[in-house]
A and B are shown apart, each in its own frame.
Chain A
Amino acid sequence: MSRTIDVKYLARVEGEGSLHLEIAGTRVVRAELRIFEPPRFFEGFLRGRDFREAPDITQRICGICPVAYLMSACHAMESLCGVTVDGPLRELRRLLYCGEWIESHALHVFMLHAPDFLGYPDAVQMAKDHPELVRDALRLKKLGNAIMTKLGGREIHPINVKVGGFYKTPRRRDLEPLLPELEWAAGRLPEIVDVVRGFDFPAFERDYELVSLAHPDEYPMNEGRITSTHGIDAAVSEYDTVLTEHHVERSTSLHSRVVGRGAAHLGPLARYALNHALLGDEARAIARRAGLSESCKNPFESILVRLVEIAYAVEEARRVLSTYVEPDAPAVDVTPRAGTGFGATEAPRGICYQRYTIDDAGLITDCKIVAPTSVNQAVIEEDLRAFAETRTHLSDDELRHECERVIRNYDPCISCSCHFLRLTVARS
């Protein structure tokens, strides 16, 4: 017996894509994540633009993780121009990233992922029976947004970040009002983890090549080398030699593979496996409370790892606030010079890589942007095939639901990736 299962529009993911499964007996012969959002051509219309415009333009790729795009662009341009941003300005950039991780992870953990485990079609239905989870989500997201607003001028698409630093830096007293809510979050997260660790996680693990930035002194956000559980250890400037892109007909988003091997898995599981030793004491305590060991290869348990990373971002934000010294200047001067620069930072969904070439006048002549969801497409398809094959006895509707869960484990940001969800299942 054969059958085809299609999910024409995936729910609780950002952007538009579909899923197509073809099943022959008990074997899944095809599992395709189809991304049909139109390409957005950012790499095209960045050409000819001044190098200082890249952060503000690229951050428009995403309304959830704009910090990842603008920070990767800043780092690429600064490396190209031989500039290092350190001291308080580097700390403020890290604080900005904490805001993005808190608001993005809180939205996914509570509003998008938790309904899968509690048996609700969406957060609105879940809110009737679990209002405390939704209130926690709203409060955490508001906290993340408040950090973004303090540093970026507004909560979405910050307008205060530039190549070399910021347009204006906050006074210490401007940041202090953030502390009470950060203290609330630190106190509330252990109780949240106690609820989430009780969810029924499907037994599903694979030997992923987990890829993330790694930094010798800190859990990676803005900086680090590209590393993996299977031996990658490369500078950001060597990204194109370890991860390559290729087109597949079913997706307007380019796929990626590790050179000489296969799919890469980016995001919270990768960061955690490769950097858990650099978590703060409070985040490590949350990980222990969640029952996590030093590595997690069950993508359904990514909800726990995201909670650990929220705890880390809360802890790190408090550290930055408590040690903040107002900088002498809001930015360092950056003078353009012809060449090619590379930037990679850790978006909530994984590495966001950018490469720019500029001329002597500082105009962009070439550009490459790789969104983490784009890279994760291949590993999502592998998960779909492996997971669905253990559940071919299910009805089409049940299988459709299970497969959507597999995809949501990755918190895919489809609009970002386009350069992607309908699910169809074909059985034979």
Chain B
Amino acid sequence: MSAALPLVACFGNASRGDDGFGLAVAEALSGLQPRADVVSLGADALALVELMRGRTHVVVVDAIVTDGAHGEVSFFDVSSRAPLLDARGTSTHALDAAGAVELARALGELPPRVQLVVATARALEVGAALSPEMRGAAREAARRVEELLGEAARDEGGG
């Protein structure tokens, strides 16, 4: 792990059906190392604040619940916009990924480039496997993450 490298932070729970999306993306991107640090973070987002510190580029991968189509992959540039998501929840024994991003922003520690790659989840039952829609979304999201890393490297003159 090096703060000089881009970070791909993948959230998810493999025992909750489509919530395993982030972990599937991390697995698909395992070959990226050592060009980037790819980490699976389970549900403890506070660790993300520490991991982001000093980095210039962070991609956060997670499943979300929206009205979109099952498995639809979306992309958000978090660092250049006002908070995208309400970081407050009814339980704060653990922050979610959005809360961690907003906590880092409040601390003045948000990296200059933070991007969010998400997919719309539907089936979140305990013990369920990742749905075919989300398996396809994981492959698409992995390609998108590689594109984002490539764009950032070109912008920074690194290739």
Contacts and interface: CB of A to CB of B under 8 A. Distances in A.
Contacts of B99: 124
B65 interface: no
B103 A134 contact: yes
Contacts of B106: 124-125, 127-128, 131, 134
Contacts of B90: 9-11, 13, 16
Interface of B: 42-44, 46-47, 49-50, 87-94, 99, 102-103, 106-108
Interface residues of A, number: 30
Interface of A: 9-16, 63-64, 107, 111-112, 121-125, 127-128, 131, 134-135, 138, 141-142, 145, 155-156, 413
B91 to A, nearest CB: 5
Nearest to A129: B106
Nearest to A125: B106
Contacts of A13: 90-91, 93
A112 B88 CA distance: 12
Given A124-B103, A125-B106, A141 B46 contact: yes
Greatest chain A CB density within 10 A among B43, B90, B107 is at B90
Nearest to B102: A124
A307 B99 CA distance: 25
Contacts of A107: 93
Given A123-B103, A156-B42, A156-B44, 12 more contacts: A9-B90, A13-B90, A13-B91, A16-B90, A16-B91, A63-B94, A122-B88, A124-B106, A131-B107, A134-B107, A141-B46, A413-B93
Contacts of A123: 92, 103
Contacts of B108: 131
The residue among B42, B47, B93 with the most chain A CB atoms within 10 A of its own CB is B93
Q: 10 smallest A-B Cβ distances: which pairs?
A: A127-B106, A14-B93, A9-B90, A128-B106, A131-B107, A12-B92, A124-B87, A124-B102, A124-B103, A122-B88
9 contacts: A13-B91, A16-B90, A16-B91, A63-B93, A112-B92, A121-B88, A124-B88, A138-B49, A145-B47
Contacts of B49: 138
Contact of A142 (B50, B91, B92, B103): B50
Nearest to B101: A124
Contacts of B87: 122, 124
A422 B116 CA distance: 32
Nearest to B49: A138
Nearest to B99: A124
Contacts of B46: 138, 141
Contacts of A127: 103, 106-107
B44 A155 contact: yes
Contact of B50 (A124, A138, A155, A413): A138
A18 to B, nearest CB: 10
Nearest to A107: B93
Contacts of B94: 63
A110 to B, nearest CB: 11
A231 to B, nearest CB: 34
A124 B86 CA distance: 11
B152 to A, nearest CB: 26
Contacts of A12: 91-92
A113 B78 CA distance: 28
